[in-house]
Chains A and B, each alone.
Chain A
């Protein structure tokens, strides 16, 4: 690093880690030693760079919003939460089992004059039963899915 044995004190000097007598001795040496003065110059350049502070911008509101959201998520076990989840699951199942086949069989097939074959669905007794009341279950499914979507949107906004 440097040919001068005193150069080892430069870093401590720059960081203010020398005691008073060491500091005075080093300063006296510095006046006479060109090598140490050059090293001091490099140290000053490094210090000039490392003392610079970097600005992350406005993060306060984002941190607080995220914190609120996480606190809501960490409220622990609650029956209300289980009910909500059950409600979503029901809405999804209704949507998948009733609404989509109903839409495919009735409005879409009528719209495009398609002859959709539902033999596969009819092999499943529950679905064939549901499909025998397509409008009723379609409306129930629509209501549940809409309610689920609105509630999910509100949760996301929070």
Chain B
């Protein structure tokens, strides 16, 4: 077991005993991942924040049922996915949001980069939620194919195939903007 995983396991054990400091650390460790995944699925900064909080609340309410603490990250992501699906079921419609609402990320910001970002975000919006989630996890540093499979509750081979297809769909959506993307480079 890696050191990071070991820390998570200890934190989960402490959180199961009701230690709020451990809970807070678990939130800090996973909040960026959860928020990023949810934001890529719902494209609304405020809503993503609410759903991220709801994810952690649901996680801690059921933390006693965690048997394999080393799979915490996949478990939290699965809860996030279910919460987003619940939200979509309630809303019965997908909300598209002006690209102005996309939160600023760190790093250089110029017109070309912003334009490029808009093209990719727009293409992501046209994909299914499942594909968006797969891609977000795939590009998230340190997220393995095994974890993706665990989160989506599918086999590794299936995860690989679905990921590949999702990426192809995104690439198809970007086809019309190919020249813009290359010139913006």
Contacts and interface: CB of A to CB of B under 8 A. Distances in A.
Q: How extensive is the interface on chain A, given as a class?
A: 20 to 34
- Among B61, B138, B141, the one with the most A-chain Cβ atoms within 10 Å of its Cβ is B138
Given A56-B31, A59-B49, A15 B138 contact: yes
Nearest to A74: B61
A60 B26 CA distance: 9
- Majority DSSP secondary structure for residues of A touching B: helix
Given A50-B136, A62-B53, A42 B141 contact: no
Interface in A17-76: 17, 38, 41-43, 45-47, 49-57, 59-64, 66-67, 70-71, 74
A8 to B, nearest CB: 8
Contacts of B185: 41, 45
B168 interface: yes
Given A64-B24, A70-B61, A55 B35 contact: yes
Nearest to B141: A51
Nearest to B52: A56
A108 to B, nearest CB: 44
B105 A53 contact: yes
B103 A55 contact: yes
Interface in B139-181: 139-141, 145, 160, 163-164, 167-168, 170-172, 174-175, 178, 181
Contacts of A53: 32-33, 36, 105, 140
B32 A55 contact: yes
A45 B53 contact: no
A38 B178 CA distance: 9
Contact of A51 (B39, B103, B140, B170): B140
A98 to B, nearest CB: 41
B53 A59 contact: yes
A22 to B, nearest CB: 13
Interface string A92-114: 00000000000000000000000
Question: Which 3 residue pairs of A and B lie closest in terms of their CB atoms, listed nearest first?
Answer: A56-B35, A50-B139, A11-B167
Interface of A: 1, 11-12, 15, 17, 38, 41-43, 45-47, 49-57, 59-64, 66-67, 70-71, 74
20 contacts: A15-B138, A15-B163, A17-B160, A17-B164, A41-B181, A43-B171, A46-B171, A49-B116, A49-B120, A49-B121, A53-B32, A54-B35, A55-B35, A56-B31, A56-B34, A56-B52, A59-B52, A59-B53, A64-B24, A66-B53
